Structure 1
Amino acid sequence: MTVASEEKLLVTGGTGLVGSRVIQRALESGIPTKAMVRSPAEAEFLAEQGAELIEADLTDYKTLKEVLRGVTIVVHTAAKVGDWGPVDEYRKTNVGGLESLLTALEEQCLIKHFIHISSLGVYEARDHFGTDETESPHTAGIDGYTLSKIEAEQLLQKHSLPYTILRPGFIYGPRDRTVLPRILERLKSGQFAYLGSPENLMNNTYVEHLVDAIFLALFNEEALNQIYNVTDITLVSKREFISTIAELAQYPIPQKVVPLPIARNLARVLEGLWRFLGKKQAPILSQARIKFLGLNLDFSTQKAQQELDYHPEKSFQQAMTETIDWFRENHKLP
């Protein structure tokens, strides 16, 4: 990786699972890095590593104009994540915030590359067996997050900045604050159940492997204006994924299976009831969770392998062991 002396990297979502790892890798590579964060108090560990902290709101265009001076490359990881809630709440950050960021960056006229972290969730909610980037996103998404990610991709492609879109699957690793903690809680309580066949494949993406893909694309001109699926390449079944977590955390290994037709019908009932009651938290079962845990999610990464020379080094067992070790060492296991 060759880095020009005048380059300055901006990473949005600096304290997140992906953003914090990107910043760490950049600083180790000698790249001056700005970390965009919402709370500097929660980002002291980034400052200690040498990152310049920027407190900014993606949706505040005027603030962005002042803090982006000198930035030449961007890795955009910030997003509102989740599987429940009004679409407009996701659009505010994931689309409106991106619009503000892109407009402010275009006025600087310095950007050489904008890496946008999207999601494999933009594809249709069906079983996938080697789906590649030639398939268009399915605009009739099933949740606000998915819809906003599709709209964000479309927005980026309309702007003039040179971009690369990376579509990871389920991202796991140390510092995960969203999905993995919920899985651990359900495993500990004994309430976890597979939705449909436990032998369906996960679209697992270890955070270090995603960071590898980001840096392989960042200074690669062939990656400009391209889209890449990113997973661990060697996928595991839902059963192996969940049972490995349970074994490493020393929780009971789940055996319960809910047939997919029953899960779908129950999800429809619960979603309708939750909306009627105006609940802010997602129901225990939803169509978005069925998409994550109930379908075969095998996506092709041939394009990334061939054009980016993307070849993940760690096995799933190694990656998940490192992840659960971090949760244990940092007292994050429920």
Structure 2
Amino acid sequence: MRVLLTGATGLLGGHLVKALRERDERVRALVLPAEDARSLEALGVEVVCGDITEAGALTAAVQESELVFHLAGMMGVWRPLADYHHVNVEGTRNLYKAAMEAGVRRFVHTSSHTVYGLGYGRFLTEDEPLRPDNDPYSLSKAEGDRLVRRLMLTSPMETVIIRPGTFFGPGDKLHFARMAEKLRRGRGVILGRGDNHLPFCYVDDIVQGYLLAGYHPQAPGNVYNITNDQPLTQLEMFNEIADAVGGERPRLHLPYQPIRLGAICAEKLVARMTRTRPLVTELGALMFGSDNKHSIEKARRELGYAPQVDLREGIQLAAQWFNG
């Protein structure tokens, strides 16, 4: 089967590519012209240069593809909402339309757990209304989620939406490496008491969810949370990472709400004046300082999804990569 991936040069994309190649799938990756795709080519992946925001550049990518995994998106950069919308909403629209016109059989779209909003302190199901917090990433991912759900109502193309947890693992420079580096230097801090749950999942378990979304006969037409439903608390996770990388367990506790309010003010005032990312963002404060849990009962029941990697084991595996 010809399988197309966007976002293949990212952490999740790289792990998913390897899993697909292990299934002997013919994998094609759509990458930006400036991206280094040599590691993909070494795995036997066909590389096509293009940008999802340019509709005319997608024809070659979707041609003869039967399954599309759409992972590409803007995240982790300090950019205005319009830029996030251009990639995460309009780029998704372009790719979905091109795939449908090319006769792609199934389209798996990547949403995010942040579309629900953060800090509810209970297990959220797929039926929860989308109430994203006021940051460009969450707002644009929620709009992209709504867009695909509208398109799939009248599309002949099988469509699945995945709302993954925040994933980590070997090669993770966005989340794990940042946490590990601070803890190794003894600069880790805890927001609040530290007993709040963090929405993390080991990357291999996220990949398992994507494979089920791509191949399971019951998946089309559905939305699934894919994460670990036994999350660690903030304090547990930071302590585990500190021990694994030879760092110091954090002892300093900072009040959560003042930090969050300070982040909101920094975003509105300082960042707007200097056009640089503030030291702490509201999304960062919410992610690490509030309680976040997501139900995976629907994916368990309908797809047979079940996390295989205990989060503490995942931290050890990621730490081996980080320690070199």
TM range, smaller chain: over 0.9
Equivalent in the alignment of 1:46: 40
Name the TM-score, length of structure 2 as normaliser. Answer: 0.94
In 2: Cα distance, 1:41 partner to 1:228 partner: 30
The change in CA–CA distance for 1:68 and 1:265 in structure 2 (over 3 A counts) is closer
Structure 2 runs not aligned, ≥5 long: none
In 2: Cα distance, 1:53 partner to 1:239 partner: 42
In 2: Cα distance, 1:276 partner to 1:9 partner: 42
In 1: Cα distance, 2:271 partner to 2:145 partner: 28
In 1: Cα distance, 2:88 partner to 2:46 partner: 23
Equivalent in the alignment of 1:129: 122
Paired letter, 2:145:
E
Q: 1:115 aligns with which of 97, 103, 108?
A: 108
Offset, 1:239: 0.9
**How big is each residue's C-alpha offset from its partner over 1:131-159, in whole Å with a ceiling of 9 and x where there is no partner?**
111111115x3210001100111111222
Q: Secondary structure at the match of 1:90?
A: helix
* 1:70 aligns to 2:64 (yes or no): yes
Q: Which moved more, 1:261-270 or 1:13-22?
A: 261-270
Equivalent in the alignment of 2:240: 244
Equivalent in the alignment of 1:20: 14
The change in CA–CA distance for 1:47 and 1:187 in structure 2 (over 3 A counts) is same
On the 8 A contact 1:83/1:289 being kept in 2, the answer is: no
**How big is each residue's C-alpha offset from its partner over 1:133-187, in whole Å with a ceiling of 9 and x where there is no partner?**
1111115x32100011001111112222321111112110112131222223322
* 1:322 aligns to 2:314 (yes or no): no
On the 8 A contact 1:174/1:324 being kept in 2, the answer is: yes
Equivalent in the alignment of 2:2: 8
In 2: Cα distance, 1:290 partner to 1:162 partner: 37
Matches within 5 A, 1:147-186: 147-159=139-151, 160=155, 161-186=157-182
* 1:95 aligns to 2:89 (yes or no): yes
* 1:289 aligns to 2:284 (yes or no): yes
Offset, 1:71: 0.6
Name the TM-score, length of structure 1 as normaliser. Answer: 0.91
Offset, 1:321: 0.9
Equivalent in the alignment of 1:199: 195
Q: 2:228 aligns with which of 228, 232, 235?
A: 232
Equivalent in the alignment of 2:218: 222
In 2: Cα distance, 1:73 partner to 1:286 partner: 36
On the 8 A contact 2:53/2:87 being kept in 1, the answer is: yes
Equivalent in the alignment of 1:4: none
Q: 2:136 aligns with which of 119, 144, 161?
A: 144
Structure 1 runs not aligned, ≥5 long: 1-6, 330-334
Q: 1:301 aligns with which of 273, 296, 304?
A: 296
On the 8 A contact 1:83/1:144 being kept in 2, the answer is: no
Offset, 1:83: 6.5
In 1: Cα distance, 2:61 partner to 2:68 partner: 13
% identical aligned pairs: 28
Equivalent in the alignment of 1:188: 184
Cα RMSD after superposing both structures: 1.6
The change in CA–CA distance for 1:85 and 1:192 in structure 2 (over 3 A counts) is farther
Equivalent in the alignment of 1:3: none
